[in-house]
Amino acid sequence: MSEPARIYNQTHAPRPYVSGRRRTSVYITWSYPAEANRNPAELDNRFSTMTEVRRVTWPAYEVPRFSDPLQFQQGIAGSLELFFWAWVPFQNLVGEVTGFPVPVFQRIDQAGFALPLDERVLSDTDTLFIFGLDHNVTGQTPSDAEIEALRTWLKREGTCLVIGPHHDVGATDDPQQRAMEYAHHGDALVPRQQRFGQYALALLRALDIPVENRFALRPAVKAGTGNKVVPFSYDREADTKGWLKGVESLNFHTHMPHYALTRDDGTARVLARQPIDLSRPHPFTQAGETEFNIVVWAPPAGARAGDVLVCDSTLFSTLFGADESLERFWKNLVTA
């Protein structure tokens, strides 16, 4: 069966409000040109080129669709396109559940069109996913107007923000610690320093949600499975809204951020902690930690009527697979 026709380069058509059906949108915080145009000669703080992806994962992408330079981009832009490709199952499932298409907005897209976080994104959205995939070196920072637009949106009853600054690898000048972190996660495509999340972190601070992304930790997997993560530790009492109801585990990704609470005053609740692969040393585990925070929830508070959940964008990607448990999490987020 042939693939459906793909659409690109068109204006978003706002979705009407329909009682009982949530309108879901994705906002990617990167500047696509800033990421794609990074110098491949720079070792750190950039995405891989498609050629590097093919070399490391050989022979996974050796079909012409990905390996032929007449069909697929071989630079950094090629690896960025893999992100979009891997989000399609999430978009399709949410579209089936809600009855609405799921638009994917970019802060600055392939064609250089800038779209700050404003009413064009927010006015027809009930559940907003902000994927914090901007490298810090690209300088993405929300303006005061964007922050105010998001605050205003969250005053609306029933809104839900799912936000996740990506991992923070090698946040040190010590090359030995960088080497340890690299050996821990074991992904040859991740450089010794890869710092993400400036835009999303600024939003979390503006919303007074005390969460920061730290490190890039490798989840423990079930023996003999290779990529089936062990179930997370679930705080059922804290999850009064059932965000993780019926969810046993999330998907495997070799470098997941720890969402550290910068203060413990009840503003944010840790709903799930993921066991770490302890066979690979890391400064975090050497300090005695065996799990990391993978899902954090900030319930409505003060003028904020909407919920805020902090979890990584890789939980919505199928590059490393998906199963019924993960899909249940997706459904919970767009139906709660």
Residue 105's pLDDT band, with cuts at 50, 70 and 90, is very high
Query: Coil, strand or helix: which one is 128?
Result: strand
How much is the average pLDDT of 301-320?
A: 95
Question: What are the structural domains, with CATH classification, of the chain?
Answer: 24-36+83-335 (3.40.50.880)
Per residue in 188-227, pLDDT (tens digit) is: 999 999 999 999 999 999 999 999 999 999 999 999 888 8
Q: What is the pLDDT of residue 320?
A: 75
pLDDT at residue 1 greater than cutoff 80: no
Q: What is the pLDDT of residue 321?
A: 75
Per residue in 161-182, pLDDT (tens digit) is: 999 999 999 999 999 999 999 9
Q: What is the pLDDT of residue 322?
A: 80
Helix (H) or strand (E) holding 327: helix 324-335
pTM listed for this prediction: 0.97
Mean confidence (pLDDT) of the chain: 96
Q: What is the pLDDT of residue 10?
A: 87
Q: Could you give the maximum distance between any two Cα atoms of the chain, in Å?
A: 55
> Which residues are CB-contacts of 260 (< 8 A; sequence separation ≥ 6)?
211, 212, 213, 214, 293
Q: Helices H, strands E: what count in the chain?
A: 10, 12
Determine whether 134 is exposed, middle or buried from the number of CB atoms within 10 Å of its CB (0-12, 13-18, 19+).
buried
Question: ω before 59 within 30° of 0 (cis)?
Answer: yes
Percent of the chain with pLDDT over 90: 94
Residue 204: name the closest of 171, 148, 164, 166 by CA.
164
Q: What is the pLDDT of residue 5?
A: 85
Per residue in 81-97, pLDDT (tens digit) is: 999 999 999 999 999 99
> Which residues are CB-contacts of 336 (< 8 A; sequence separation ≥ 6)?
160, 241, 242, 243, 307
In angstroms, the CA 79 to CA 35 distance is: 10
